[in-house]
Structure 1
Amino acid sequence: MEKHALEITNPEGIYDPRAHGYSHVASVPANSQLVFVAGQGGSRTDGILSDDFRTQVSIVFENIALALKSKNVTMAHIAKLTTLVVDYDDEKHHILIEESTKIWPDQKFPVNTLIPVQRLALNGMLIEIDATAIG
């Protein structure tokens, strides 16, 4: 995939969301292959969930990267994320921004919808993220 095929923008007239780790618009050409990654949790193949939110976030992104790699796609190809966070607060917000900035240091963040939730599928699961990428 050519890098310019996915266009990430933040139009004038809408506040600049990059300080919060996301962008407003992702544009994907019609002839692109879409790669959908199911919601990933913060455990590896052993199924163990850390009590630490940052650890779970890091593992979630590792899992997404592994899923994308299976289709020869990278994190730079993600157009859209949906992020579910248990007991969302300012501290978790800052952790998400910091971890996202490690992955997208150019601040070409994917579009992201963050949804605070009371609970996820498994006990101890603090975050779940699904992704849509282009290949």
Structure 2
Amino acid sequence: MSGFKMEHKNPEGLFVSKAFSQAITVSGKAKTIYIGGQNATNSKGELIGAGDLELQTKQVLNNIATILASENASFVNLVKLNIYLLNGCDPRVGLKAFQEVAGLLDNPPLVTVLFVSGVGHPGCLLEIDGIAVIEDKD
């Protein structure tokens, strides 16, 4: 990350977590990747893991990984994730799946988790959107 600087900040007085950062600043020559809401469908539009939050989370994260890879990025480039979980779902299941797919990140992204009554695709238990940054080489 030589053309830009991404700093993960956990100011004194705030909780320090291995799952999320409190703030991130980006400066320099960077390209922003906005990731639209991803659900648990595969490339054929088929729902993966009906009724299973862990399997659905893994599919969503695989979709995000595909988007990131298409821009020569990975989970380390994530700045922000918004996670929309159906009411009654256990966020710890999703966190476990995230750690299995993305690994333990030294500098995790900012994370917001919201419980909702539904998402756009029937049968989906969650939807995740996000923002990532990479060096702008143009």
Contact 2:3–2:28 (CA<8 Å) still a contact in 1?
no
Contact 2:4–2:26 (CA<8 Å) still a contact in 1?
no
Residue 67 of structure 2 aligns with which residue?
67
**Range that drifts further, 75-84 or 9-18:** 9-18
Residue 126 of structure 1 aligns with which residue?
125
Kindly indicate whether residue 59 of structure 2 is the aligned counterpart of residue 40 of structure 1. Answer: no
Paired letter, 1:34: T
Contact 1:86–1:120 (CA<8 Å) still a contact in 2?
yes
Paired letter, 1:87: N
Contact 2:68–2:74 (CA<8 Å) still a contact in 1?
yes
Measured after TM superposition, the shift of residue 6 of structure 1 is 2.0
**Range that drifts further, 25-34 or 36-45:** 25-34
Residues 1:84 and 1:7: Cα distance change in structure 2 (over 3 Å): same
Residue 29 of structure 2 aligns with which residue?
31
Measured after TM superposition, the shift of residue 69 of structure 1 is 1.0
Aligned-partner Cα distance in 2 for 1:42–1:115: 17
Residue 93 of structure 2 aligns with which residue?
95
> What are structure 2's unaligned runs of at least 5 residues?
none
Contact 2:3–2:29 (CA<8 Å) still a contact in 1?
no
Residues 1:2 and 1:56: Cα distance change in structure 2 (over 3 Å): farther
Residue 16 of structure 2 aligns with which residue?
16
Paired letter, 1:115: L
Measured after TM superposition, the shift of residue 9 of structure 1 is 2.3
Residue 109 of structure 1 aligns with which residue?
108
Paired letter, 1:86: L
Runs of 4+ in 1 over 6 A off after TM superposition: none
TM-score normalised by L of structure 2: 0.85
- SS of the aligned residue for 1:133 comes to strand
> What are structure 1's unaligned runs of at least 5 residues?
none
Name the count of aligned residue pairs. 131
- SS of the aligned residue for 2:127 comes to strand
Paired letter, 1:78: L
Aligned-partner Cα distance in 2 for 1:57–1:121: 16
Residue 53 of structure 1 aligns with which residue?
53
- SS of the aligned residue for 1:5 comes to strand
